[in-house]
């Protein structure tokens, strides 16, 4: 019985790990395809497009203190020079991208 329970727990843990890695991978992939051109691969907006449009770095004080809901709203509806991604990305993709951006802020 203990072996069977241990196997089930290991299977659940493995499935959770794969799901988490997939979600982060999806956010990273979407970020690279849709966001990195302006925000930069590292989120510092130090490339030509980021500098030209004066894109703030994700580690800037203003963006570091932004709530997840605020970041989702900015991505969905657009903000300043950033276009709206509603209709271009699903709600799930936007949440995954914001979760990925949080990893760039660390």
Task: For residue 40, list its beta bridge partners.
Answer: none
Q: How far apart are CA 53 and CA 1, in angstroms?
A: 62
**SS3 call for 88:** coil
- Mean pLDDT of each 10-residue bin along the chain, 106 residues long: 46 41 73 96 96 94 95 97 95 97 94
Q: How far apart are CA 70 and CA 91, in angstroms?
A: 14
Closest CA to 29 of 97, 104, 80: 97
pTM: 0.74
Ordered domains of the chain (ranges, CATH): 2-104 (1.10.760.10)
């Amino acid at each position: 019985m203990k072996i069977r329970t241990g196997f089930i727990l290991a299977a659940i843990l493995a499935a959770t790990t794969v799901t988490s890695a997939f979600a982060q991978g999806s956010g990273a992939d979407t970020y690279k395809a849709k966001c990195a051109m302006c925000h930069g691969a590292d989120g510092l907006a130090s490339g030509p497009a980021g500098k030209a449009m004066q894109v703030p770095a994700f580690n800037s004080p203003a963006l570091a203190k932004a709530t997840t809901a605020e970041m989702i709203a900015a991505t969905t509806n657009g903000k300043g020079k950033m276009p709206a991604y509603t209709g271009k990305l699903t709600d799930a993709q936007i949440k995954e991208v914001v979760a990925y951006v949080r990893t760039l802020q660390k």
